[in-house]
Amino acid sequence: MTDMQDPFVLFQRWMNDADAAELNDPNAMALATCTPDGRPSVRMVLLKGFDSQGFVFYTNLTSRKGQELQANPFAALCFHWKSLRRQVRVEGPMTPVSDAEADAYFQSRPRDSRLGAWASLQSHPMDSRFDLERRIAEMVVRFGVGMVPRPPHWSGFRLVPDRIEFWQDRPFRLHDRHLYERKDHGGWAIQRLYP
């Protein structure tokens, strides 16, 4: 199977190019979610893994995005690598990662990030920065120098793509666009799109 037949092989090649070319966070992606009544919201998150099963990121489950994904488990991602003049759009349902995956990734994070996951009431109102700093100090005392386990409100999601579009800039806005749509029986239907 060539790069053009398998979107994950092509994505890996483009991600390798981004790793070499982008100065900051080549794994940054816009994540679009919706409320149950269809009100959209979008924010930047970091891709933490991908394979033929999908694209993985982690978050506080009580955050706005966490709550929206639990209420409406469909989402879209957009990677934009300006220096490469490339974009990849991904759409599909979200599934939770396993506890084992979430635990393993959580333990790979720096200790201060693990403490922060316990301290932050992500997306909830905060009176002052001091409130966050106080909560972090409480977590330092709580966990001491021991292991910081994954909080029950923190895990990951995997977007299982049913559509992936690769966009490459070309002169005069005559861009290349290739759309991959998952077939019901497996594999991908591939078509070019007008720019």
- Which residues are designated catalytic? 173
- Positive or negative torsion for Cα 180, 181, 182, 187: negative
Tokens of 100: 């084992």
Distance CA 50, CA 8 (A): 8
SS (H, E, C) the chain: CCCCCCHHHHHHHHHHHHHHHCCCCCCEEEEEEECCCCCEEEEEEECCEEECCEEEEEEECCCHHHHHHHHCCEEEEEEEEHHHCEEEEEEEEEEECCHHHHHHHHHHCCHHHHHHHHHCCCCCCCCCHHHHHHHHHHHHHHHCCCCCCCCCCEEEEEECCCEEEEEECCHHHCCEEEEEEECCCCCEEEEECCC
